[in-house]
Chains A and B, each alone.
Chain A
């Protein structure tokens, strides 16, 4: 099944990450250790052989930085430094001390990367498959949205993508088209309410207007379909913006589940959809 193949895609890469993280200090300190050992034993070893450990470790660190959603420019540029320090011929002796210091720096950068630049793998996978809370939500709402027509689902994709791009006038227009397209002979479904909410917010955003005193929200019976539960405390501002987040996520799910050709466009906006859960 397509769904299963998508779930497993990228998993080997993700499983491999802890090994790659371990390889950074292992290769860099390993190279330095080899250089020290050869000096002790009095073996004449070409400097480039132990230095290769630092070069390899730099490339691995850069790869680990690349697959994170937040890019660390320092870690990404380490291969350039390794090339300058260890590959480019120089008149100065780049000895064991430089390798040890370089290995320490790479290890510190790896620690910094792990704690400050997000989970590995997410950046590489964001454009290829759904992940995290979004994936769970889309799967949970699949059955409830299974009756959505392809035309409405396509409009849902248009609304979501236009909104994510900041084209609020177009988003409002697409939401209106979806609303009018479904109205005849149909009762107001949660999805239609979502279109209404997005249309209202898009119109306000397009004209940079603040929250109105009265605004559209979901009804109590829509709660099982909503990504963010209704708050027990009545705070108009929180309620107003939570309704928009819920509406956008519901529309995303409808588009994902009922309009497969639009999935690449939805995947391109996945980072925005993930943000809506916060």
Chain B
């Protein structure tokens, strides 16, 4: 779904929640007159279950679209091995093969990207522009952060992930 220039993606979890509550509401309103009398606010409430994730996704994706060119201009192309704790806060660009993908259905994908020198976790806090799969060769642009904000190994907070070559 496109809103302005932003391609908004709703996670399957948000859709599933909406569908389940729609079914609940349907049966509850069929069997209970009390529920029927409350439909005037229950139906908009139900739609909010879809509208809120769409709005959040729109906001995060439009912000990422704004900052991506800034990172692209500042990021230095590095081998994964050179990324370390002392680089926290630095914009970086790495190229590698996607070894694993987690949490894609939550619109918060986490990738393990590897090159010849090593592997690193790449976390994204919104849905990516492209559907990245295991074995895709990608270019990642982002900022080095610690896994748990103040502690943990260095990971990349991904601003943009692009396929260079399909699997």
Which residues on A are within 8 Å of B, measured CB to CB? 69-71, 73, 161, 164-166, 168, 205-206, 208, 237, 241, 268-269, 271-272, 275-276, 278
Interface majority SS on A: helix, strand, loop or mixed? helix
Give 23 CB contacts A-B under 8 Å. Answer: A70-B152, A71-B147, A71-B148, A71-B151, A71-B152, A73-B148, A164-B87, A165-B86, A166-B76, A166-B87, A166-B92, A166-B144, A205-B76, A205-B77, A205-B82, A208-B75, A208-B76, A208-B93, A241-B79, A241-B117, A269-B84, A271-B85, A278-B118
* Complex interface: chain B residues within 8 A of A166 (CB): 76, 78, 82, 86-87, 90, 92, 144
Q: Hey, which chain A residues are within 8 Å of B147, CB to CB? A: 71
B76 touches A206 (CB 8 A): yes
**Contact size range, B:** 20 to 34
Which B residues fall within an 8 A CB radius of A?
Answer: 75-79, 81-82, 84-87, 90, 92-93, 116-118, 144, 147-148, 151-153
Find out whether the CB atom of B81 lies under 8 angstroms from the CB atom of A275: yes
Q: Are B81 and A164 in contact (CB under 8 A)?
A: no
Apart from the given pairs A205-B78, A208-B76, A276-B81, 9 other A-B contacts in the complex at a CB distance below 8 Å: A71-B153, A73-B148, A165-B87, A165-B90, A166-B78, A166-B92, A208-B77, A241-B79, A278-B81
Say yes or no: B117 contacts A272, CB within 8 Å.
no
- For the complex formed, measure the closest distance between the CB of B30 and the CB atoms of chain A, giving whole angstroms: 35
* CB contact under 8 A between A271 and B84, given known A71-B151, A71-B152, A166-B76: yes
Contacting residues, chain B, for A168 (C-beta < 8 A): 76
Task: Looking at the assembled complex, report how far the CB atom of A256 sits from the nearest CB atom of chain B, in whole angstroms.
Answer: 16
Greatest chain A CB density within 10 A among B78, B79, B81 is at B81
Contacts of B84 in A (CB 8 A): 164, 269, 271-272, 275
Complex interface: chain A residues within 8 A of B82 (CB): 166, 205
Q: How far is the CA of A89 from the CA of B49 in the complex (A)?
A: 35
B144 to chain A: closest residue by CB = A166
Chain B residues contacting A70 (CB-CB under 8 Å) are 152-153
Interchain residue pairs A-B with the least CB separation, the first 4: A272-B84, A208-B77, A166-B87, A164-B86
CA A269 to CA B83, docked complex, whole Å: 12
In Å, the complex CA distance between A276 and B75 comes to 22
A205 to B78, CA, bound (A): 7
Q: Which residues of B contact A271 (CB under 8 A)?
A: 84-85
Inter-chain contacts of B79 with A (CB < 8 A): 241
Q: Nearest B residue to A123 by beta-carbon distance?
A: B151
A68 to B105 CA separation, bound complex (whole angstroms): 31
